[in-house]
């Protein structure tokens, strides 16, 4: 699905590089991902999640705490592509959800061409090692290095919403799965961090070029048994960037924490 970010020509993967018909080439990192974000589109030296945030998220997700969400996402992906197809994980991070979808299609005996993009090279190093069957690229969801109408499924799990780009790369009739936090997601953690807490807004927004299919709620509760797992969860959330020091210290002092994980998977069909 990848195309050249300079001329939009189709990229062909070789042993060590991707190359387009115009001769532009992009080295494949030893982990297996490719860098398709031009320097003039980078907003910082190292865009995306940093090494520490990626490591915290990887430890937390590998603990299985969000497995109910991954299973629900895989079920919807299988429902959307009964004969297989091409799937793009936009903002794929370290590939936890990408891996789930790839393994689900393998288990169902359905062909799947899978690709993922993310701004963070630290995340993609892990994603490419985790899912060898998928192609991964450093890129922005707002300027996807993907040809128009080549994807049958686009997944956006907690990533910035780029509805226009998703519509462009999806084939007519393709499915877009958009995962957002539910109203009381991590409410117990928020009560430790902040003096005043509010529920997340729960809305149904219809985006141009899409029809609404359904909203699937996913909800679970679990107890994090120690400070390390608690701080890993904290470290992978936006709260890590904006919480006052006093709130962080209160959370760090917690010996365990029972939290509610609440999500909504919004399904759309490309017109």
Rounded CA-CA distance 262/179 in Å is: 10
pLDDT at 226 exceeding the cut of 90: yes
Hey, is 261 helix, strand or coil?
A: strand
Rounded CA-CA distance 66/62 in Å is: 9
The strand pairing partners of 219, in sequence order, are: 262
How does DSSP classify residue 7?
A: T
Percent of the chain with pLDDT over 70: 97
Domain map (residue ranges) of the chain: 12-270
pLDDT at 67 exceeding the cut of 70: yes
Scanning the structure block, which residue is given the tokens 């288990």?
A: 107
Which tokens hold the place of 121?
């090279």
Could you tell me if residue 163 is left (phi over 0), alpha (psi between -120 and 50 degrees) or otherwise beta?
alpha
Rounded CA-CA distance 12/25 in Å is: 9
Helices (H), the chain: 51-62, 67-80, 96-108, 121-130, 163-169, 187-193, 227-235, 239-242, 245-252
pLDDT on residue 96: 98
Percent of the chain with pLDDT over 90: 92
pLDDT on residue 59: 96
Q: What is the pLDDT of residues 249-267, one digit of tens each?
A: 999 999 999 999 999 999 9
Q: What is the pLDDT of residues 93-126, one digit of tens each?
A: 999 999 999 999 999 999 999 999 999 999 999 9
Sequential DSSP letters for 125-178: HHHHHH-TTSEEEE--GGG--B-TT-EEEEEEESSPP-HHHHHHHEEEEEEEEE
Hey, is 115 helix, strand or coil?
A: strand
pLDDT on residue 48: 74
pLDDT on residue 110: 98
Hey, is 188 helix, strand or coil?
A: helix
Q: What is the pLDDT of residues 8-54, one digit of tens each?
A: 999 999 999 999 999 999 999 999 999 999 876 655 556 678 899 99
pLDDT on residue 241: 87
Into which CATH architecture does domain 12-270 fall? 3-Layer(aba) Sandwich (3.40)
Rounded CA-CA distance 176/209 in Å is: 11
First and final C-alpha spacing in the chain: 20
User: Which among 185, 246, 179 has a CA at the least distance from the CA of 221?
Assistant: 185
Q: What is the pLDDT of residues 151-176, one digit of tens each?
A: 999 999 999 999 999 999 999 999 99
pLDDT on residue 194: 96
Phi, psi angle pair for 156, to nearest 5°: -125, 105
């Amino acid at each position: 699905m990848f195309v050249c970010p300079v001329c939009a020509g189709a990229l062909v993967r070789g042993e060590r590089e991707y190359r387009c018909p115009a001769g532009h080439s992009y080295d494949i990192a030893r982990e297996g991902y490719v860098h398709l974000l031009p320097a003039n589109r980078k907003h910082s030296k190292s865009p995306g999640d940093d090494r520490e945030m990626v490591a915290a998220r990887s430890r937390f997700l590998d603990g299985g705490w969000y497995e109910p969400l991954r299973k629900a996402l895989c079920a919807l992906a299988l429902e959307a592509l009964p004969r297989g197809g091409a799937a793009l994980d936009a903002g794929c991070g370290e590939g936890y959800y990408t891996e789930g979808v790839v393994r689900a299609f393998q288990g169902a005996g359905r062909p799947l061409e899978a690709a993922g993009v993310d701004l963070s090279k630290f995340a993609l190093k892990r994603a490419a090692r985790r899912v060898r069957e998928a192609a991964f690229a450093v890129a922005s969801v707002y300027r996807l290095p993907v040809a128009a109408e080549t994807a049958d499924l686009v997944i956006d799990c907690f990533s910035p919403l780029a509805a226009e780009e998703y519509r462009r790369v999806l084939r007519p009739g393709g499915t877009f799965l958009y995962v957002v936090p539910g109203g009381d997601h991590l409410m117990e953690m928020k009560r430790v961090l902040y003096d005043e807490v509010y529920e997340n807004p729960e809305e149904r927004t219809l985006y141009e070029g899409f029809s609404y299919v359904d909203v699937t709620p996913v909800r679970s509760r679990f107890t994090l048994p120690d400070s390390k797992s608690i701080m890993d969860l904290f470290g992978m959330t936006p709260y890590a960037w904006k919480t006052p020091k006093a709130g962080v210290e209160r959370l760090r002092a917690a010996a365990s924490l029972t939290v509610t994980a609440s999500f909504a998977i919004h399904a759309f069909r490309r017109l």
